[in-house]
Amino acid sequence: MSKPLTAAWQDVWLLDGVRTPFVDYNGGLARISPIDLGIKAAREVFARSGASPDDVGIVITGNMAQASFDAYLLPRHIGLYSGVPIETPAHMVQRVCGTGIEVLMQAADTITHRGVDLALCVGTESMSRNPIAAYTHRGGFRMGQVEFKDFLWEALMDRSANVTMGDTAENLARQYQITRAEVDAYAARSFERAVKARESGFLAGEIAPVKTEEFARDGYNARGIKLSRETKELDHDTHIRTSSVEQLAKIRPAFGGVQTGGNSSAIVDGAAAALAASGDYAKSHGKAPLGRLVAGDPGRGREGRPEARRHRPLRDQRGVRRAGDGVRARS
């Protein structure tokens, strides 16, 4: 049996975080590069936190889909166009559904073990811009042998087991005897909570409205976001809607079992950014962080460290949720 991977950090703090709205597939963000969505989120987290891009020691980004022709440059361009110094290293993380937490874990490791005080963490995806791809045509093709496939669909097929991600979920539902009624009930409750969070203003505090704007940096070509003429601004998640159990029960299964388009995660476009910092950085700059990122013994390393924010105006609240086994955010 191989040895498990371990992590240990006690003095890493989530300084601030913000995201774009998450907009439905082929919706208002469909034509926007995930790089520009990531830049938007990154620039906003600096503006809201008051932290300086000059203080960033590393840029870590998460992105699975190669959804723009300059996708290789995603981490570098997010750093550059958000004002991070050109000499600051930047790299990409790809871990399918675990990419977001992996970005934060790598930031925590870098702060703990490599002397970095501030890390810019960004996750960005465009489902709408996942390409229709052909991998066999560089040398030409014979008549009738043109083959293009949907990258968004094909990428989630595990050829070793010949199952899709949806098939895997159905296998788990059968293994653990999870019923369609239970899944719909869970989804209905999630939608109800999301609708209340939006209507109360809770979600507004974590969303940076997206509008047409330019991202410029001296010495470089400008890039940016251009929405349609009809869309002046996108300031809310478009997938959240009232969804009762009765409504969800009418939707056909997507994979022949419990999953439907109503009780599964949405296919959306958007980006999120966070700043992870050492305790020394947060304390010396007078920052009250959102919470602490912990791995190992949570009781160590607190002496003289900043306290997390406990009370905030409703319009500016941002939730910190459990991230996973052994790695969690504490407020």
Look up the pTM and report it.
Answer: 0.89
Q: How far apart are CA 248 and CA 155, in angstroms?
A: 27
Q: pLDDT tens digits for the chain (331 residues)?
A: 678 888 889 999 999 999 999 999 999 999 999 999 999 999 999 999 999 999 999 999 999 999 999 999 999 999 999 999 999 999 999 999 899 999 999 999 999 999 999 999 999 999 999 999 998 888 898 888 889 999 999 999 999 999 999 999 999 999 999 999 999 999 999 999 999 999 999 999 999 999 999 999 999 999 999 999 999 999 999 999 999 999 999 999 999 999 999 999 999 999 999 999 999 999 999 999 999 999 986 665 566 678 777 544 333 433 333 333 333 444 4
pLDDT of residue 182: 98
224, 230, 235, 239 alpha-carbon torsion, rounded to 10°: -110
Q: How far apart are CA 86 and CA 287, in angstroms?
A: 25
pLDDT of residue 301: 54
For residue 215, the number of C-alpha atoms closer than 13 Å in the C-beta half-sphere is 24
pLDDT of residue 259: 98
pLDDT of residue 309: 73
For residue 136, the number of C-alpha atoms closer than 13 Å in the C-beta half-sphere is 7
User: Which architecture characterizes domain 6-331 according to CATH?
Assistant: 3-Layer(aba) Sandwich (3.40)
Q: State whether residue 25 is helix, strand or coil.
A: coil
- CA dist 324 → 13, 85, 313, 320 (Å): 17, 32, 27, 12
pLDDT of residue 268: 97
Q: How far apart are CA 96 and CA 280, in angstroms?
A: 33
Q: Are 10 and 298 in contact (CB under 8 A)?
A: yes
Question: How many C-beta neighbours within 10 Å does residue 185 have?
Answer: 15
pLDDT of residue 317: 38
Domain boundaries, the chain: 6-331
Per residue in 70-100, pLDDT (tens digit) is 999 999 999 999 999 999 999 999 999 899 9
